[in-house]
Chain A
C-alpha cells in the first residue's frame, strides 16, 4: 500500500531531489544499517551464550545484560530488513521507527546510567573531576555507536508527515 501518489520536489543535501529518490536512499541506507544491527545482535547473543566477551578498539561486547541487548538488536535488525521491501508504506516505516526506538532504549539507558554513575564519588559524596571524566571513557557498547546512525529515521518521519499532509513545508 504505497502512499506516494505524486512525488513532491524538495531539497536534500543542496540539490533538488525527488521524494522517491529520498526514499530509495533510505531503503539502501536501512538495508545496510539493518544488516549491521542484525550482525551485532547475533554476535552478542553468541558471545553471551558462550560466556565470552569481545573488544574491538573502543567497542566492547560484554556485561550481564549482553544476551538481552543482543536479542533486542537482533530483533531491531530483523525489523529494519523486511521494511526495505516497501519502504514508502507507512506500516513499513513504522517498523523502521520501532527498530530505531529499540536501539534508543538500549543506548538511552546506558547513557542515563553513565551519567548517574559519574556523579557520586568512591569515598566522598561527589566524584572528582578525573573520576567524572573517567566514567565516560571507552569502551562503549555497540548500541552507542548505532545510536547516531539510527537517528536518520527522524528525517523520514518528518518526510512522511509532510507527504501525508500532501504538501511541502
Chain B
C-alpha cells in the first residue's frame, strides 16, 4: 500500500493525537535541580562538594581495606611466612621473588611476591574499587554530563570541549580506557591533545592510592601542580597543533537513581580489567627492576643520569630504578620511591616526575593503537608528537618544581 504525501501527514497527525499529550509543562523539582547543577554560579560549588565527597569516600574506603586489614595480612602473616618457607635465602631467585630477607614490611621487601602483590592487591585494588564505584554512581545518576557542561568554557580555552572531562575523569581511574574514550572527541587534533595531556598529567587511581599512602599530606599539592600543567601545556599544544576544535551539542539526560545491578556489572567489568591488565605488569616490573639491580645495570644508569637527576630535578640518583619501573606501572614506581632515603620535598618532586615521565606501557600501547587510525604516518605522529610534548613537559614542569623548592629554601 502506497500513501500519498497528504495521507502520510494525516497518518502522522492521527498517531500524534493518540500518543502526544499537549499542555503546559511545569518545572519539577528535579528539573530545577538539573538546571542549577549546570549553571556556573551554583554548579561549581556543587561540583566542589561532589569532588570532596568523591575524595573522602576514596580515602575512607581504600584506607579501611588497606590499613585496616591488608597491611596486617601482608606484613604480619604473608611476609614472615614467605621469609620462613622460601628456600635459598640470599640467592638471586629469593631476592627477585621475596626480596630483602631482613625486611619487616612488604613496602620495603621488594620481591615480586611481597611488594609486587602487596602493591597490586593490598593498596591499589581497594583504591580502584572505590574510584570506579563512585565514578559509576556519578555516571549512572546523570551528574557526569552536567559536569561536562560546567567545565565546557574552561576546556574551550585549550581547544577541547566539555565532553573531554569524561576521558579526564576516566583517566583518574586508568589511563588505558581514558585514551580509548578520546575517540568521542570530534577532530584528530582534539584526540591527540587529550590523549597526550592525560597520559602525561593525570595520575591513575592506582597511583593515587599509593600516593595517599606515601605522601598523604602532599597529594593535594601534586594534583594542583599537575592540573595546572595540564591547562598550561594544553593551551600551548592548542596553539602549536594545526586542526579544528569544533563546538558540540551535548545531550544531558535527566537525573535518575543508579540501578544496583548496572553498577555491580560495570564495577565488575572494570575491576576485572585491572586484574588482567595491571597486576601482571606490577609483578613484571618488580622482576625487571630487581634483575637490573642485581646485574649492576641500575647503578650504572643511576651514575650516568646523576647530573640530570640531582642537578636539574634535585632528586637522588637512586630514583632511576622507580623511573624505569614507572614505564611498567606508576603505582609500583611510587611505592619504590618510598623506600629510597630522601627529604619530603625530594619525594614530592620524585612523585611528580613519575607522573610526568613516560606513560605506563599499557597507555603507551593504547596511544599507538589510537594513532593507527591515520596509518603508519598517524602512529608516527602520535608517538613522536607525544614524546616531544613529554620531553618538554618533564624538563620544564619537572624542573620548575625543583626551582619552587629552591625559592622556598627547602631544596
Q: List chain A positions with a Cβ less than 8 A from chain B.
A: 3, 64-65, 68-69, 71-72, 75-76, 78-79, 90-91, 93-95, 97-98, 101-102, 105-106, 108-110, 112-113, 116-117, 119-120, 125, 157, 160-161, 164
Contact = CB atoms under 8 A, between A and B. Distances in A.
B239 to A, nearest CB: 33
A90 B56 contact: no
Interface stretch (B31-39, B195-203, B228-236): B31-39
Contact of A105 (B29, B36, B49, B217): B49
A120 B69 CA distance: 7
Judged by DSSP, the binding face of A is helix
Nearest to A119: B68
Interface residues on B, range: 20 to 34
Given A112-B57, A119-B68, A68 B46 contact: no
13 contacts: A69-B52, A79-B42, A90-B28, A90-B29, A90-B31, A91-B27, A93-B29, A94-B33, A97-B33, A102-B49, A106-B52, A109-B57, A113-B63
A72 B57 CA distance: 16
B3 interface: no
Judged by DSSP, the binding face of B is helix
A79 B27 CA distance: 20
3 A-B pairs closest in CB distance: A120-B68, A75-B45, A94-B32
Nearest to A64: B217
Given A105-B53, A116-B64, A125 B69 contact: yes
A161 B48 contact: no
Contacts of A109: 52-53, 56-57, 60
A91 B35 contact: yes
A98 B37 contact: yes
A164 B68 contact: no
B50 interface: yes
Contact of B56 (A3, A65, A75, A125): A65
Interface string B50-94: 101100110111011001110010000000000000000000000
